[in-house]
Amino acid sequence: MRAALTLSLALAGSVAFGPALRAAAETPWFERSLVGMEVGPTGAQFGSDPTDTGYAARFDGRDIVERCARAHCEYLVIWARDGEYAYYDSRVVAKCPGLGSRDVLKETVEAAAAHALPVIAYCVVQQGGRYLEQHPEFAMRDAHGAVIPGRFCYNSGYLDVVKRLATEMLAYGIAGFHIDMLDQGFGPPYGCFCAHCAKRFESEYAAPMPKGVTWDDAWDRMLEFRARTSARFERELRDHIKAVDPRASVDFNYHGNPPFSWEVGQLPVLHAVNGDFVTGETGVWGFSALGVGLNAEFYRAATPGLPFQVAMQRGVRMYHDQTTRPLADIRWELLTLLAHGAFATVVDKTGYDGRLDPVAYDRIGAAFAEARAKRAHFGQAPVAEVGIWFGSRTRDWRGRETPGEYFQCFQGAHKALVYAHIPWAVILDENVTAETLARFRVVCLPNVAILSEREVALLRAYVEKGGALIVTGLSGCADRMGNLQAHSALEDLAGVRFERALDSLDNHVRFGAEESPLAAVRGPAIPAGWPFLVKGPAAVMEAAGAAPYGELMKPHRTVRQRQGKEGTEWPMSADAPVGPAVFLNAAGKGKVLTFACSPDYAAASEHAVVEARQILVNAVRILNPAPRIRIDAPANVEAVVTDDAAARTLRIHLLGYNSPPAATPARNRPFVLPSLIEDAPMYRAAIELAHPFARASALGAGTVLTAREKRIEAVVSDVHEVIVVAY
């Protein structure tokens, strides 16, 4: 609390701030902003009765602008249209009755002018409510022709309605739009199979629509059709907005990242690039604490070179719950996003009548003041040693209707690297090039089962030029429809022969004490001869040029399990070895390290033994023994490294996730939500550089730092610290 207060005073006393702001006003708001808010009312998110005139009666644009300006906001996203109402004088959709003659958008734009605060209109697309009930002709339909409640079809003509709404709002002089909810549903029943869609599908593919979820060539076309439909809707809406006002920004809320999959109708890159920048959500409630940084980096990978925005919430649980997080918890999430290069929106949902919680604005204001005072330390080029490959085709066709099984591999690889403070970034198959791969010393394929010929060729060229590849589990082992094939697409490159996939997930590995170039996979912490669980997909492989190491062990099965009378969800102990656990192959100037097991899946699983994570981290060190930077800190501290090459300055952001123990939940045991961060952590971190540096300093006054030759040691006692290293 004290640190934030000091920074707040420092910001107020800054003399350079005014001129800097004026100069910056030439650039679009989303290129100069670090922090902003989105404000909308609570009480219509599950529908609203038109006689409910108390709802949003005090939702007041002037009050919101004043509060946001005092809270150091650099832009304001104001709720202008949701599924129930418009919060301005609309001729297209019903206005919120509680507003009476007031027009919140008008109030907001007028009040914001005095503060030079850009106003962004929040406009929802896919939230079925009053308008959809009145216009069933726009409804999405399932494979049987039944209306899917609450969902619009994007081929139905609804686009024209949204264009008319946008035109109305642009007349207010807004700076842009945040267009929310461009999904096609988040699960079954799937759409859209309406007459509009069927006609368009037949004209595009000269074939009839599939009759449901068939997971065949027809469904492949359907997935493409759905994705194209969403992209077309976004682009046509964007083009309309730009035609009316070329200066207005457009961003679409994004659902291309895990845990969202094909059902949403989005691909990671195709649907990230249709606005001026991409916006997505984060929050421990839906994306985990690790998801904060992961989401930000996923958006960066999807939109190279563009700014990217992440939205977080002020409530302790989710958006509309009318609770306020402690400052330390808000600071941790906000500063994590900024350290990863995002700009951040904090979503505030007002009380039922529209009133604002003053404590929320005090805390958000303190966090925003700190963020702005630290502005010079955000936005530099990220340093990433390992690229984590995400396969959208694997998501769709291997993940199918249980995509979480695939996401767990991607997320587990990420978790292992974060805990080990190895700088990482995301690689997306849709936009990967040789240049993308060349940025990384190590590329990791965490169970990327489906790899195209183009992707394998890119990986081969990367390795042969000196790159290092980590392959886990069933990477390359499935055909383009997600079915296991007789050979792995990576066999030649990896120097192995794929025999078969194990039909178990409770697989173990065991490493002996023998001499091997791969002995460091075991490392000093794992005893020789000790079988340990590496939960996840595994393959029986034999060496075909690669050096093998260790043993992959299938699990025991009880008689009842073999009789099919008992499940195999809970891990059983290790049975006999079925093949090597790890392989190392040389190819050209590079190397491929193949795990027959899945340390990635294991790391994010419910049986996340530490050793499973360690073998993945040890593999990185075998392939890249002398990294530019090594960071040693507790596992609850995330490190983000950036490099300002022109100024020869490395920055190591340290973010302490200091969640105290949680209580047993009343429902859904044992799936506890983490407790909120209340206290700043105190911990020791050591940073080892490959080369000597000129000087090192810590941003925070409370950090005790010592630096000698290539090593920096720091005792940190805050949620966020930046170690600045001049080299």
- SS3 (DSSP) at 485: coil
Q: Of 462, 412, 472, 442, which is closest to residue 626 (Cα–Cα)?
A: 442
Minimal distance, residue 206 CB to Zn ion, in Å:
19
Nearer to Zn ion, 50 or 145 (CB): 145
CB 39 within 8 Å of CB 111: no
Nearer to Zn ion, 169 or 192 (CB): 192
> What residues contact residue 329 under an 8 Å CB cut-off, 6+ apart?
316, 676, 677, 678
What is the distance of C-alpha 6 from the center of its chain?
32
Q: What share of the chain is helix, strand, coil (3-state, %, to 5)?
A: 30, 25, 45
Angle between helices 404-419 and 610-623 (to 10 degrees): 70
Nearer to Zn ion, 27 or 214 (CB): 214
Nearer to Zn ion, 155 or 350 (CB): 155
What is the distance of C-alpha 167 from the center of its chain?
32
Nearer to Zn ion, 192 or 470 (CB): 192
Minimal distance, residue 127 CB to Zn ion, in Å:
17
Which tokens go with 620? 């990185």
Minimal distance, residue 229 CB to Zn ion, in Å:
8
Distance separating alpha carbons of residues 176 and 109, to the nearest angstrom: 12
Minimal distance, residue 669 CB to Zn ion, in Å:
41
Q: Of 326, 348, 346, which is closest to residue 337 (Cα–Cα)?
A: 346
Distance separating alpha carbons of residues 338 and 86, to the nearest angstrom: 32
Q: Of 388, 379, 382, which is closest to residue 437 (Cα–Cα)?
A: 388
CB 311 within 8 Å of CB 36: no
Nearer to Zn ion, 154 or 287 (CB): 154
Minimal distance, residue 464 CB to Zn ion, in Å:
47
Number of H helices, E strands in the chain: 21, 30
Beta strands in 391-477 (DSSP E): 424-428, 442-445, 468-471
Which residues share a beta bridge with 178?
122, 251
CB 676 within 8 Å of CB 329: yes
With tokens 């994306």, the residue in question is 287
Q: Of 79, 315, 264, which is closest to residue 178 (Cα–Cα)?
A: 79
Angle between helices 358-373 and 61-70 (to 10 degrees): 40
Distance separating alpha carbons of residues 706 and 713, to the nearest angstrom: 5
| Polymer length of the chain | 727
Nearer to Zn ion, 142 or 180 (CB): 142
Q: Which residues bind Zn ion (CB under 5 A)?
A: 153, 155, 192, 194, 196-197
Q: Are strands 119-124 and 76-81 parallel, antiparallel or unpaired?
A: parallel
Report the alpha-carbon angle 230-236-240, nearest 5: 145
Minimal distance, residue 123 CB to Zn ion, in Å:
21
Minimal distance, residue 154 CB to Zn ion, in Å:
7
